[in-house]
């Protein structure tokens, strides 16, 4: 089955710890994206990558980092510098027509 | 600055009736618009899209209308079904169909 896999579905961390969210796709898409969803704020773009070994900041990149060493993988690290890390994180890939999303990771930082 | 706005956070419609979800945008460079549907704890799924060269696109029970002069689009669902209950996001892009700007979503509840 082709798709986007995000793991884990739920993640809990203590404040001050970095945490990495996994995103893997087998759709052979060049472009991949990370969005964050907060209540009442829709989806906001964190980082995106149009091609392997290249990525750009989205609208809310502060406190996050990414890498794109392989076409299939686009992990997102939420660093301790991110002031409000608790959120629902969505990874997506695109084939130039529409974004295809994974099922998300809910991160809770206490 | 919210470039894509969905001013109704929620909407309740009776089964069988029409659901109309609205979306406004401010960026005149946007030329491609999409609607996504999202269930709780899942990723959004693509529903329907429209290019700025059209003013209407239809797919089964779903129709999207675009009014460029008013910078407004709407999604019509006819007839509404209980399975349509979800959050609907409007999204827009300029020049590339991939880097999308999303609205804040409208929660649709279809009642029996």
Question: Residue A8: is the preceding peptide bond cis (ω within 30°)?
Answer: yes
B21, two tokens: 């979800």
Distance in angstroms (rounded) separating the CA atoms of residues B72 and A5: 34
Which positions ≥6 away from A25 have C-beta within 8 Å? A3, A4, A5, A32, A72, A73, A74, A91, A93, A100, A102
Query: Is B49 part of any domain?
Result: yes
Beta-carbon separation of B46 and A98 below 8 A: yes
Q: Is B42 on the interface with A (CB under 8 A)?
A: yes
User: Tens digits of per-residue pLDDT, A68-78?
Assistant: 999 999 999 99
Of B46, B49, B89, the CB nearest to A43: B89
> Domain of B28?
4-97+103-107
Query: Confidence band (pLDDT; 50, 70, 90) for B99?
Result: confident
Beta-carbon separation of B43 and A103 below 8 A: yes
Q: Is B100 on the interface with A (CB under 8 A)?
A: yes
Chain A nearest C-alpha distance from B101 (Å):
8
Query: Is B11 part of any domain?
Result: yes
Distance in angstroms (rounded) separating the CA atoms of residues A101 and A32: 10
Query: Is B45 part of any domain?
Result: yes
CB pairs under 8 A between A and B: 60
Per-residue model confidence (pLDDT) at position B17? 98
Distance in angstroms (rounded) separating the CA atoms of residues B46 and A81: 33
Of A45, A90, A97, the CB nearest to B43: A90
Distance in angstroms (rounded) separating the CA atoms of residues B16 and A16: 51
Distance in angstroms (rounded) separating the CA atoms of residues A38 and B105: 11
Query: Is B66 part of any domain?
Result: yes
Beta-carbon separation of A90 and B105 below 8 A: no
User: Tens digits of per-residue pLDDT, A29-57?
Assistant: 999 999 999 987 889 999 999 999 999 99
- Which CATH number belongs to the domain containing residue B73 in this structure? 2.60.40.10
One DSSP character per residue, A29-77 reads -SEEEEEEE-TTS-EEEEEEEEETTEEEE-TT-TTEEE--SBTTB--EE
User: Tens digits of per-residue pLDDT, B7-66?
Assistant: 999 999 999 999 999 999 999 999 999 999 999 888 999 999 999 999 999 999 999 999
Query: Confidence band (pLDDT; 50, 70, 90) for B97?
Result: low
Q: Is B45 on the interface with A (CB under 8 A)?
A: yes
Query: Confidence band (pLDDT; 50, 70, 90) for B75?
Result: very high
**Domain count along chain B:** 1
Strands B72-77 and B62-67: antiparallel
Query: Is B112 part of any domain?
Result: no
Beta-carbon separation of B41 and A103 below 8 A: yes
């Amino acid at each position: 089955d082709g798709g986007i896999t995000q793991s884990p579905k739920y993640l809990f961390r203590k404040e001050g710890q970095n945490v990495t969210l996994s995103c893997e796709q087998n759709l052979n898409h060049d472009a991949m994206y990370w969005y964050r969803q907060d209540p009442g704020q829709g989806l906001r773009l964190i980082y995106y990558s149009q091609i392997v070994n290249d990525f750009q900041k989205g609208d809310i990149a502060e406190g996050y980092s990414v890498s794109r060493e392989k076409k299939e993988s686009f992990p997102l690290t939420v660093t301790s510098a991110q002031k409000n890390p608790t959120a629902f994180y969505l990874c997506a890939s695109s084939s130039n027509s529409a974004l295809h999303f994974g099922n998300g990771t809910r991160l809770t930082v206490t | 600055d919210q470039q894509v706005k969905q001013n109704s956070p929620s909407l309740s419609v009776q089964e069988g009736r029409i659901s109309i979800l609205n979306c406004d945008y401010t960026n005149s460079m946007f030329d491609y618009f999409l609607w996504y549907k999202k269930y709780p704890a899942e990723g959004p799924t693509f529903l329907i899209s429209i290019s700025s060269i059209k003013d209407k696109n239809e797919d089964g029970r779903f129709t999207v209308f675009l009014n460029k002069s008013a910078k407004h689009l709407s999604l019509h669902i006819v007839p509404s079904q209980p399975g349509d209950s979800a959050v609907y996001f409007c999204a827009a892009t300029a020049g590339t169909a991939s880097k999308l700007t999303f609205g804040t979503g409208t929660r649709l509840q279809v009642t029996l």
